[in-house]
Structures are given as C-alpha cells and as structure tokens.
Amino acid sequence: MSALLYLVAGAVLTYVAVYYGWFRAARCTWSGTLSGKTAVVTGNTSGIGKATALALAKRGARVILACRSQERAEAAAFDIRRESGNAQVVVMRLDLGSLTSVRRFAASFLKTEPRLDLLVNSAGVMGPGRTEDGFGMAFGVNHLGHFLLANLLLERLRRCGPSRVVTVATVLPRLGRVDFPLLASRKDLVSGDSAWSVFQAYCSSQLCNVLFTRELANRLEGAAVSCYSLHPGAVHTCRGLGAWLQLLALPFAKLFFTDAEGGAQAVLHCALQEGIEPLSGRHFSRCTPQQVGARGRDDAVAKKLWEVSERLTGLSPGWDGTGRSGTIRALASGLPLPRPPQGGSSAPATEPRNLRTGSL
C-alpha cells in the first residue's frame, strides 16, 4: 500500500507542477539580520524544515528545533551549526502526535526561552494509523498538534511582537474537505485506511492548515502577530520512498521539481519579508499571495474548525475563563493567559511517513 500511496501522491504533485509551472521556486529577497530574534521550527530534520532552519541560523537567529526524534534533531542541529557558523541552534523534544508532548514542549519553552519572534509550522506527515490521542495521523499531527502549539505560544509571540506564525500548506487543500460529523464520530477527516483515504486525509489536513491561518488572523486583528499559510512549490526530496522508487523518481524529480532550499524560499518570504503584514491570513506561493479554492476561503468553516479544535485539544470550553474567543481577546489587550490543562503520559504514537520535511 505504501508504494501505491506514493505513486498516487506523485501523480497529483506532478500534475500540480505541470499545471502551475512551479518547476523552480521564487527567491526570498529579504537581506536583513535576525540577531537577537528566536524562531521555533517544526519538521526540521530534513527537507524544507531543515533548509528553513539553516537559512534562519545563517541570518543570526536563535533557532529552536522542535522535533520528536532527539537523535535526528541533534544530527540536524550539528549540520546547521557547522554550515551557518551559528552556535545558537537548540534541540527541544516535541511530538506533534501527542497533545501531552505539545503541552510539555510549550511549558519548557516558556520557562527557558525569553523570546519568540517566529513560529514555523513546517512538519507534515502522510500515513495510516492514529496519534497517541486517537486522532487520524494527518489530522492529529498536521493540524491539531500545530493548532495547540500555536495557541500555547501566542502570548509569548504577542509580547515579542511584531512576530509571525507561518504554516506550510501545500496546494492540495483544493482536494481536501472538512467533514465535521466524521470528526465527531471517528476523530478523523476520512472514514477508511486505503491508500486513497490516506492521501485524502493528508489533503484535508492541508485545508485545515489554510483555514487555521485564516481564522487565526481574524482573531488576532489588533495584535502585533501576523500569520500566513503557504505552498512551497513542487519540492523533491524522495525521502520515505523505497530504494528502487528513489532510483526511478530522482532524475525526473530533479528535472521538474525544486530542491528543499528552493522550497524554503516561500517560507522565508512569509517569515521575513517586510510590508506584508496587511496580508495576514492570506495564502502564499512563489513568494506572492495566491487565491485558494472556495473551501479555503470559507470563514464559517474556519470558525467552526477552530471551535472544534479547541474542544479536541482541551482549550475549550473557555479554558482561559473568558469563553470561546477569550484567549485571543486577552492577547490583543495584553492580559496574561492562565496555564493550560495538563495531561498525563502514554506510549509514543506509531511513526508515520513524512513527505515534506523528514521525521518529526
């Protein structure tokens, strides 16, 4: 099933590359320094996430590699320190498939790091199975984990503003949908575990990322935090493929797709480019704002997804004591936020494939 899954994904991404002409990524033109700034990057052991972390480190930022695998993250941190000459690259454990782990990461970060200027939600998985909390893998990791992480770090982002939240969401939201009855009954965006269902769940999780960004921008109006979702372009890494599939795919991928460094340019543009603050909540591609499909512009669905996600992650009803939107109201007004609910520990989730950025 794994080979079939990747063949289906490859066929769709190839169509995207041909249709949109995204064979080579546009470049981020920002040339300033990030000295004194702190960034958190998820999905950072390879691919776009690692390339983004490296670029931020080269510009002088303190970079927190939020990663599930300590061994892989330490290896990535070693590479980034060596290539950037920046010793301020720190590894902190974060498993986005565990809401308990997300809370522990946030608590540790807020205790040890005085600043947060940039949150890059770059991790993205596609695979069958369930997270530690029983959610479908793509929905639980790609959306819920990042949703909870962003909410728990928002107060620090506001205090250090102007700051940004950047979330990678491929062009595949056009193929996704948010089925709320299915979420209620199965804690997932799809009803099966076939190769097509797994792929559809991934597409739907990308739609959730677009809607999350849109609603976050609406709720943060008036605060010094801007947020963007983005499609990084057609990027080849060939990670997760079997050896024979890599052999077949690599020449074609190099011909028609950009590499991880090129894919990171859209992330860097949204993270660093001056003057795009009025475009908060928009979706970007090739370093320019793009119109997403109708499903990605549905404010009613975005609002409902936010409310459902609050309940599923334990942030609602009114965990901050002020109701549905009290968290954001507190941020905009400068009020302190109360401590989020704590969870217990449990066994690690099954490791899924990571198409975009390498292992979490």
d(CA 82, CA 76): 10
The catalytically annotated residue of 15, 20, 202, 228 is 202
Spatial strand order of the sheet with 283-285 comes to 89-93, 62-67, 38-42, 118-121, 163-168, 225-231, 283-285, 288-290
CATH superfamily of 2-333: NAD(P)-binding Rossmann-like Domain (3.40.50.720)
Rounded Cα distance, 273 and 112, in Å:
28
Residue 59 has phi, psi (to 5 degrees) of -90, 5
Is 15 catalytic? The answer is no
Residues 6 or more apart from 111 whose CB is under 8 A from it? none
Percentages helix, strand, coil for the chain (3-state, rounded to 5) are: 50, 10, 40
Q: Write out residues in the chain with pLDDT < 50, as ranges.
A: 19, 21-22, 238-245, 247, 318-360
pLDDT attached to residue 47? 85
Structural contact between residues 209 and 121, judged by C-beta atoms closer than 8 angstroms:
yes
Task: Look at the block and give the residue holding tokens 């993205």.
Answer: 124
